Amino acid sequence: MAPRKRILSGMRPTGRFHLGNYYGAARNWVRLQDEYDCFYMVADYHGLTSQPHATAFERDLIDLAADMMAVGVRPESIYLQSSVPEVAELFLLFTMVTPYGWVQRVPTFKEMARQQPDNVNMGLFSYPVLQAADILLVKGDAVPVGQDQDAHIEMARETARRFNRLYGNVFPEPATLRTETPKILGTDGRAKMSKSLGNIVGVTAEPEVIRKQVLSMVTDTRRAYLSQPGHPKSCNVDSLYKIFFPDDWQHYWDLCRKAEIGCHEKKRILGERIIETFAPFRQARAELSDEAVKRHLAEGSRRARDVARATVAEARSAVGLLPGL
Ligand code: AMP
């Protein structure tokens, strides 16, 4: 039997896990577990680009790993990026084959620089090079991600191609595995849901937190009165109804069009449905102690590190470096 193809994906520990992380990434990660050999990373080096407070950061990375496990990602597939330091060496080798212009072109850099104008560091700039190293370190055949990652995956492919052309065939060119829900908008109804923008709806958060987040959602700005028909087509609440009420979203659409339901009531119903849908995840999360999470992370990281050591040895030899003395 042919060996299973390998996939890699990751998340930054920059705040609580949200609907975008789940529907844009983690749900797909769980579904792919039987078909692929999976490596799922808590991307803590990447998280440092926004210079979080050390104590809060440690909490965030344990929380993220616990949330991944709670939503069904198998603990043995999860690892901590910084516990596989070989990624830093591969990153360094890749900086030598990555033309400056490639990195300059990546649109996410400009977006992130806009989000943190006082902290436009080299890590932010070289983020896609490190991401290429993450993927190619485990020789990932494919990467399951949301739409926002397209430019980065393209760069990982270009990096593999260029390295292989210069030094021989070492890396596979990773394909993108698109999720069914590549982009979830935030509660502002405009930008992508994102921890750094504070426009999130949590997954394993406490019910009262989720309730508040959903009620804060911007709805149909053209609808001034309850008696006016709404415009569900341009309302972000309606896009979430399609996810959380797959069988009867049309019913709520009609009620909105006939002005028989208000925006507040639609959000209230949605909030309760989200809370109910994620109750098993919340329960699983509550049962995971920090110690158990750290133990799983250490085991997962050992597994990833074994693969990483072999890849880095191969890459070193390909470029003409001596094996570590
Ligand atoms: P991040 O939290 O930015 O590290 O993203 C982790 C993963 O979640 C990536 O695969 C993203 O593509 C995905 N993701 C994050 N936010 C969203 C969103 N609003 N909609 C869809 N996918 C998302």
- Between CA 195 and CA 187 the distance in angstroms is 11
What are the contacts of 61-66 at 24+ separation with CB within 8 A?
Answer: 61/13, 62/290, 62/293, 62/294, 63/13, 63/16, 63/17, 64/11, 64/13, 64/17, 65/293, 65/296, 65/297, 66/285, 66/288, 66/290, 66/293
Is residue 129 within 8 A of residue 103, CB to CB? The reply is: yes
DSSP strands (E only) in 81-231: 142-145, 175-178
Q: From the CB of 150, is ligand 1 less than 6 Å away?
A: no
Q: Residue 143 Cα, ligand 1 centroid: separation in angstroms?
A: 13
pLDDT at 294: 98
Whichever domain contains 179, its CATH number is: 3.40.50.620
187 lines ligand 1 (CB under 6 A): no
Q: Are residues 160 and 220 in the same domain?
A: no
Low-confidence ranges of the chain (pLDDT < 70): 325
Residues 83 and 146 in one domain: yes
**Same domain for 261 and 130?**
no
- Find the helix or strand (DSSP H, E) in which 40 lies: strand 37-42
Mutation choice for ligand 1 from 148, 152, 194, 197, CB with most ligand atoms inside 8 A: 148
Q: Do 305 and 257 fall into the same domain?
A: no
249 and 108 within one domain: no
Are both 117 and 212 inside the same structural domain? no
Domain of residue 220 covers 207-277
- Is residue 105 located within the same domain as residue 252? no
| Residue with token string 């997962």 | 300
- Provide the domain count of the chain: 2
User: 192 in ligand 1 pocket by Cβ < 6 Å?
Assistant: yes
| CATH number (domain holding residue 249) | 1.10.240.10
Task: Mark whether 103 and 64 lie in a shared domain.
Answer: yes
| One domain, residues 269 and 308 | no
Positive or negative CA dihedral for 86, 109, 191, 234? negative
Residue 202 lies in a domain: no
Q: What is the pLDDT of residues 57-77, one digit of tens each?
A: 999 999 999 999 999 999 999
pLDDT at 70: 98
Q: Which atom of ligand 1 is nearest to the CA of 11?
A: 4
Residue 200 lies in a domain: no
pLDDT at position 150 is: 87
pLDDT of 147: 77
Residue to mutate (ligand 1; options 21, 44, 131, 200; most atoms within 8 A of CB): 21
Question: Do 19 and 145 sit in the same domain of this protein?
Answer: yes
Do 312 and 173 lie in a common domain? yes
pLDDT value, residue 325 = 66
Residue 196 lies in a domain: no
| DSSP per position, 105-123 | H-HHHHHHHHH-TT---HH
Cα 146 to ligand 1 centre (Å): 6
144 within domain boundaries: yes
